């Protein structure tokens, strides 16, 4: 599209003009906004950009590897990957309250990112994937005190003693424009049209205490659900779909043995603004196939439920 082509060209020139020969840091989450920002800045200033990716151990199956593949191998970017899963899991130990979990994950995230950023002593700029709806939302949050249902967290945050300047090259764009730009910059279609994923990741999809064992089961169940949605052509029709881990056990029968294993809930919603949402009317045979595969392939799960709650009164994530 001509207009976005023009946008990219002008944005690249502006980044070069602003940044000059300085170094830039960017917190990469794997989400569309930070990915497109990274690709754009890399196109403009190449190796002057370093991306930092914090792996909290609560990502989707193979997500860290995919980020490495796309950005480091295919696009040739400088990428620092921080495996912080031990820290996150130990700080989350024994914590069951959803808001406390969110706060801990958010705080650990900022700490990890900042301590990595401080090692890049030459950096003068902090790039962020802020887009136009974020600008509006935070302006609204500043004027009227919004009632907090869930405290959200996003990548980045400025290390206070680093004196970095902010670089936000896509802050004028809407989501669909960001996606178009991403395609133009050569990001894989699958990454550009991926469903949104919350900052706290699987931390808010494992109810109550987060354990590595639970995360491992959930990642595999979730990957099967997403696989089957894609295969059936449903992935792009729904707005967001994922699995949720319920830390309760129920009795089942497998072969000629009794099982006593955990439960997984499937959630799929359709929405335009994520403020309200309808549960997706997925075909029964698709749900049946997903359920069979999860129970057969993920040892430790013997029951699968489908969430048929709208938002409101339920929220999209379970915590
Ligand atoms: P809820 O659960 O509030 O979610 O209905 C609405 C949308 O927001 C996403 N979500 C988050 N996104 N950081 C994010 O960047 C967060 O902490 C967070 N919590 C929820 C959720 O996945 C859904 O798309």
Global ipTM = 0.99
CATH for the stretch 205-306 = 3.30.300.10
Q: Tell me the mean pLDDT in the region 124-131.
A: 96
151 is in an annotated binding site: no
90 is in an annotated binding site: no
pLDDT in tens, 130-180: 999 999 888 887 776 557 788 877 655 666 777 899 999 999 999 999 999
Atom of ligand 1 nearest to the CA of 196: 24
What gap in Å lies between CA 282 and CA 199, rounded to an integer? 26
33 is in an annotated binding site: yes
Q: Is residue 152 within 6 Å of ligand 1 at its C-beta?
A: yes
SS3 244: strand
SS3 272: coil
Domain with CATH 3.40.50.620 in the chain: 2-192
Element (H, E) at 294: helix 284-297
- The 8-class DSSP code of residue 208 comes to S
- Measured by CA distance, the residue closest to atom 21 of ligand 1 is 198
**In terms of Cα–Cα distance, which of 72, 75, 85, 67 is closest to 31?**
67
pLDDT in tens, 49-60: 999 999 999 999
SS3 127: strand
Domain with CATH 3.30.300.10 in the chain: 205-306
**In terms of Cα–Cα distance, which of 28, 59, 201 is closest to 129?**
28
What gap in Å lies between CA 194 and CA 259, rounded to an integer? 35
Count the Cβ atoms, other than its own, within 10 Å of residue 13. Answer: 11
Element (H, E) at 225: helix 212-231
Q: Is residue 154 within 6 Å of ligand 1 at its C-beta?
A: yes
Atom of ligand 1 nearest to the CA of 239: 24
What gap in Å lies between CA 167 and CA 124, rounded to an integer? 10
Question: CB under 8 Å to 112, separation ≥6 — which residues?
Answer: 54, 56, 82, 84, 87
- Spacing, Cα 174 to ligand 1 middle (Å): 18
- Measured by CA distance, the residue closest to atom 22 of ligand 1 is 198
Query: Can you tell me which residue has the tokens 């902090």?
Result: 126
CATH of 2-192, one of 3.40.50.300, 3.40.50.620, 3.40.630.30, 3.40.470.10: 3.40.50.620
Atom of ligand 1 nearest to the CA of 151: 17
Provide the angle, in degrees to the nearest 10, between the axes of the packed helices 175-184 and 32-45. Answer: 40
Q: Is residue 98 within 6 Å of ligand 1 at its C-beta?
A: no
Question: CB under 8 Å to 24, separation ≥6 — which residues?
Answer: 41, 45, 48, 49, 50, 123, 124, 125, 126, 127, 167
SS3 302: strand
User: Encoding tokens for residue 133?
Assistant: 């709806």
pLDDT in tens, 4-28: 889 999 999 999 999 999 999 999 9
Q: Is residue 299 within 6 Å of ligand 1 at its C-beta?
A: no
- Spacing, Cα 240 to ligand 1 middle (Å): 10
Atom of ligand 1 nearest to the CA of 197: 22
The answer to whether 118 touches 17, Cβ cutoff 8 Å, is: no
Q: Is residue 240 within 6 Å of ligand 1 at its C-beta?
A: yes
Q: Residue 154 has what pLDDT?
A: 65
Report the DSSP pairing between strands 257-270 and 165-167.
unpaired
Q: Is residue 150 within 6 Å of ligand 1 at its C-beta?
A: yes
85-89, 90-94, 143-147, 210-214: range with lowest mean pLDDT: 143-147
Q: To the nearest whole percent, how much of the chain has pLDDT over 90?
A: 88
């Amino acid at each position: 599209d001509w207009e976005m082509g023009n946008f990219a060209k002008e944005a690249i020139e502006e980044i070069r003009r602003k940044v000059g020969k300085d170094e830039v840091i960017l917190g990469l989450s794997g989400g569309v906004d930070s990915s497109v920002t990274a690709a754009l800045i890399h196109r403009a200033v190449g190796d002057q950009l370093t991306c930092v990716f914090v792996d909290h151990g609560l990502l989707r199956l193979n997500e860290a590897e995919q980020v490495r593949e796309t950005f480091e191998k295919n696009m040739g970017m400088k990428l620092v990957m921080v495996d912080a899963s031990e820290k996150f899991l130990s700080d989350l130990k024994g914590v069951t309250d959803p808001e406390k979990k969110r706060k801990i994950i958010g705080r650990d995230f900022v700490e990890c990112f900042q301590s990595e950023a401080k090692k890049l002593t030459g950096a003068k700029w902090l790039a962020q994937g802020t887009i136009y709806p974020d600008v509006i939302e935070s302006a609204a949050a500043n004027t009227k005190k919004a009632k907090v249902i869930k405290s959200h967290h996003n990548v980045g945050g400025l290390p206070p003693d680093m004196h970095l300047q902010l670089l936000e090259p896509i802050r004028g764009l809407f989501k669909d424009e960001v996606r178009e730009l991403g395609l133009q910059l050569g990001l894989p279609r699958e990454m550009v049209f991926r469903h949104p994923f919350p900052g706290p990741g699987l931390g808010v999809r494992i109810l109550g205490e987060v354990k590595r064992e639970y995360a491992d089961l959930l990642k595999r169940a979730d990957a099967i659900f997403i696989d089957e949605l894609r295969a059936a052509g449903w992935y792009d029709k729904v707005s967001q779909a994922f699995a949720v881990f319920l830390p309760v056990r129920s009795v089942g029968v497998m072969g000629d043995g009794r099982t006593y294993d955990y439960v997984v809930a499937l959630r799929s919603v359709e929405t335009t603004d994520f403020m309200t949402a309808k549960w997706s009317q997925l075909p029964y045979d698709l749900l049946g196939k997903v359920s069979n595969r999860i129970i057969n392939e993920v040892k430790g799960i013997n029951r699968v439920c489908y969430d048929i709650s709208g938002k409101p009164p339920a929220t999209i994530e379970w915590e």
